[in-house]
Amino acid sequence: MRATLLQEHDRSGKPVMWAATRSGGDILAVRRSYAPQARTLADLDRVLLLSGGLVTALSCVLGIVAAAGAGRRIAASADTAQRIADGDLTNRVRPRGKDEIARLGAAVNTMADALSARLEAERRVTADIAHELRTPVAGLVTAVGLLPPGRPTELVRGGVDALRNLVEDVLEVARLDVPGVERAQREAVLLSELARQSVARTGVDVHLRVHRDAEVSTDPRRVERILANLITNARRHGAPPVAVDIDGTVIRVRDHGSGFPAELLAQGPQRFRTGARERGGGTGLGLTIVDGQARVLGARVRYENPPDGGAQATLDLTPDHGNEQRDR
């Protein structure tokens, strides 16, 4: 029979190893210091602990670096997708590598290419149809002028005028859809005078209030087009009184009707899509043209329903907005 025993501390305070065995009728015991082995084990524990800590720290650093790189790539893909959703169909992701993130970027590019091709096809079809309609509409306008005076002639003339305006609106939307085709011809104008001219040309009873006037560098024709569409939309789909307020470089057009529909506030104007305000008629092109002309000017248009009722459209001609649009 043999036995061993590790005594952690003897009288000297050091570890001791005992070993004993039976030899005949006697028991033979050996005592030996275990201090060298204990020091060796302690040194090994320290080395293992230090190595484990260094490996863990290095793994964490490498993991953070890898995660940060992946996060930046995902964020870049998400930003590009958001810009594409906002209408900038020229933006593309630059995929690197062959991992899942690169596949995601390639998928975003494929989606943008398909969307761009589809929109371009729709734009061309719309523009072609409008161009083809121009000639017969011009013929109708001429023919109406030859009809004898009377109520039937007035009804026909009203329908022909509406058709002609629709064709011109469709052509304008098609031009605004193509980046770089429409360019602003800027000049310095006093905003209050420009607003008064726009209101007078609409023929709508509007309350024009100037809280603070400003001189802006803009394209007067495009600003007049925006204001005319906003005022016409307020008169047609809202309720009086219609008010135009000028506060510096900001113009607000407000009516007191039922307000903008929820889908317009959430998604913005959609062509050929009408909402609750437009159930009596409308094509959705008026506000689409407003947004398109604002993009050309580098301006910003916001739509909201004030708490006390009605609908309000705000045109902001602050120059910084033009810089934001160009940066995009």
Structure tokens at 201: 């040309």
The fraction of the chain above a pLDDT of 90, given in percent, is: 17
Q: What pLDDT is stored for residue 271 in this prediction?
A: 65
pLDDT at 276 over 70: no
Compute the distance between CA of residue 88 and CA of residue 109 in angstroms, rounded to an integer. 12
Q: Which of 9, 5, 36 is nearest to 21 (CA)?
A: 5
Compute the distance between CA of residue 132 and CA of residue 124 in angstroms, rounded to an integer. 12
Q: How many CA atoms lie within 13 A of 44 on its CB side?
A: 6
Q: Are 7 and 16 in contact (CB under 8 A)?
A: yes
230 — pLDDT class (breaks 50, 70, 90): very high
- Mean pLDDT to the nearest integer, 114-133: 76
pLDDT at 327 over 70: no
| Alpha-helix residue ranges (DSSP H) falling in 146-300 | 151-176, 191-202, 220-237, 262-267, 285-297
Q: Are 91 and 327 in contact (CB under 8 A)?
A: no
58-104 pLDDT, tens per residue?
989 888 888 887 788 888 888 888 888 776 777 888 877 788 888 88
Domains and their CATH numbers in the chain: 2-33 (no CATH), 100-176 (1.10.287.130), 187-327 (3.30.565.10)
Higher-confidence residue of 313 and 181: namely 313
Q: What pLDDT is stored for residue 20 in this prediction?
A: 82
21-31 pLDDT, tens per residue?
887 778 887 87
Helix (H), strand (E), coil (C) string for 126-155: HHHHHHHHHHHHHHHHHHHHCCCCCHHHHH
Q: At what angle do helices 285-297 and 151-176 cross, to 10 degrees?
A: 40
